[in-house]
């Protein structure tokens, strides 16, 4: 049998005991689709790939290590390069080679529409639309709820398991305490996501920078409060009171800014007229000066009369 293109055969050996008491080795072959991390090459979305791995691990009783190895065989191209980089960055080696460890990082990298965005968008628009029937409305809410439950599986801030005695039994008191703590933990996880979905976008971005698998509700509220106070302080300190300038300064600046108009004069004729004007006045101007002097003399006879038979050495 040749597997179809895009399918990775995974052979798993299982021991089974037959009715005669003999142990038979049963070979079971399952198939995971190839995943490249590229839309033009992938036959399945990243979210569906994760669901397929989870279902096969449950149906075939894969251990966490076996599921990790099978996923490593199915990843191709850029997705396989990404897995190698995560092994280095997240120190996934030895006992940490588990599907449960790499699973949230895989979804964060490739299934961007599955967890965070679907949760925030779904919780932010929970109201039934005017053109939406009840079946579609409930289906949309049910999808968001499933994504929240799926994200809770990778949430690490969960209550510790109840203590077990030497016989492997759990007391009723310890079991009830664990049950109550688990209910409260799930409730806070839902409230945390509702709080994120209803926040302003600029405050939500600060919370989204935190690792969601370790973020608790109290930390999210404190981060949003600090960010909002910081923005309010920035707005109050950035206000600048305008200073009214005197009108006289505005007039002076405006006068200086205006360019002076210059008359165009040929380059060779710029110096001569000015020199001629400085050296000698025009004839018409000399005649006018002489007439004005004569008029001034005639209009002031008392000053110019020769009472002492003496002439002025200046004007004669």
pLDDT digits (tens, 9 = 90+) for 118-136: 777 778 887 888 898 999 9
Give the chain's mean pLDDT: 76
Residue 59 has pLDDT above 60, yes or no: yes
pLDDT at 93: 87
Residue entry with tokens 């005669």:
20
pLDDT tens, 166-181?
A: 888 999 999 999 999 9
pLDDT at 144: 83
H helix or E strand, kind and range, residue 277: helix 272-279
Q: Per-residue confidence at 77, pLDDT binned at 50, 70, 90?
A: very high
Q: Please give the share of the chain, as a percent, with pLDDT higher than 70.
A: 64
pLDDT at 270: 52
Q: Per-residue confidence at 297, pLDDT binned at 50, 70, 90?
A: low
Q: Per-residue confidence at 26, pLDDT binned at 50, 70, 90?
A: very low
Q: Per-residue confidence at 235, pLDDT binned at 50, 70, 90?
A: confident
Q: Per-residue confidence at 29, pLDDT binned at 50, 70, 90?
A: very low
Residue 165 exposed, middle or buried by CB count within 10 Å (0-12, 13-18, 19+): exposed
Query: Which tokens sit at 259?
Result: 């360019």
Q: Per-residue confidence at 85, pLDDT binned at 50, 70, 90?
A: very high
Instruction: Enumerate residues 6+ apart whose C-beta is below 8 A from 87.
Output: 93
Pick left, alpha or beta for residue 3 (phi over 0 → left; psi -120 to 50 → alpha; otherwise beta).
beta
SS (H, E, C) 70-86: HHHHHECHHHHHHHHHH
Query: Which tokens sit at 140?
Result: 């949309």
pLDDT at 27: 42
Task: Of 226-230, 231-235, 291-295, 311-315, give the range with the top mean pLDDT.
Answer: 226-230
- Say which residue, 93 or 277, is predicted with more confidence: 93
Task: Say how far apart CA 70 and CA 88 lie, in whole Å.
Answer: 19
Residue 99 exposed, middle or buried by CB count within 10 Å (0-12, 13-18, 19+): buried
pLDDT at 98: 93
Q: What is the pTM of this model?
A: 0.47
Residue 65 has pLDDT above 70, yes or no: yes
In order, the DSSP letters of 238-271 are: T--PPPPPPHHHHHHHHHHHSPPP-----GGGSS
pLDDT at 121: 77
């Amino acid at each position: 049998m040749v597997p179809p293109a895009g399918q990775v055969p995974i052979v798993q050996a299982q021991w089974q005991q037959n009715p005669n008491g003999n142990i038979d080795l049963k070979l079971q072959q399952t198939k995971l689709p190839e995943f490249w991390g590229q839309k033009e090459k992938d036959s399945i979305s990243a979210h569906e790939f994760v669901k397929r791995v989870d279902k096969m691990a449950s149906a075939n009783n894969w251990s966490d290590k076996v599921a990790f190895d099978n996923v490593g065989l199915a990843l191709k191209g850029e997705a396989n390069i990404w897995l190698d980089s995560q092994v280095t960055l997240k120190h996934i080696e030895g006992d940490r080679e588990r599907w449960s460890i790499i699973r949230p990082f895989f979804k964060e990298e490739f299934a961007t529409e599955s967890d965070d965005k679907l949760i925030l968008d779904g919780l932010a628009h929970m109201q039934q639309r005017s053109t939406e029937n009840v079946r579609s409305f409930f289906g949309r809410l049910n999808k968001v709820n499933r994504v929240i439950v799926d994200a809770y599986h990778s949430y690490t801030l969960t209550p510790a398991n109840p203590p077990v005695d030497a016989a492997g039994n759990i007391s009723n008191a310890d079991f009830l305490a664990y049950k109550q703590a688990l209910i409260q933990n799930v409730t806070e996880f839902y409230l945390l996501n509702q709080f994120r979905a209803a926040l302003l976008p600029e405050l939500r971005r600060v919370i989204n920078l935190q690792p969601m698998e370790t973020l608790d509700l109290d930390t999210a509220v404190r981060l949003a409060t600090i960010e909002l106070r910081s923005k309010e302080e920035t707005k109050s300190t950035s206000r600048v009171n305008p200073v009214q300038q005197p009108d006289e300064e505005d007039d002076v600046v405006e006068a200086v800014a205006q360019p002076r108009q210059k008359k165009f004069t040929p380059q060779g004729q710029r110096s001569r007229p000015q020199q001629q004007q400085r050296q000698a006045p025009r004839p018409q101007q000399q005649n006018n000066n002489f007439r004005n002097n004569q008029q001034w003399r005639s209009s002031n006879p008392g000053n110019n009369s020769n009472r002492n038979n003496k002439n002025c050495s200046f004007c004669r």
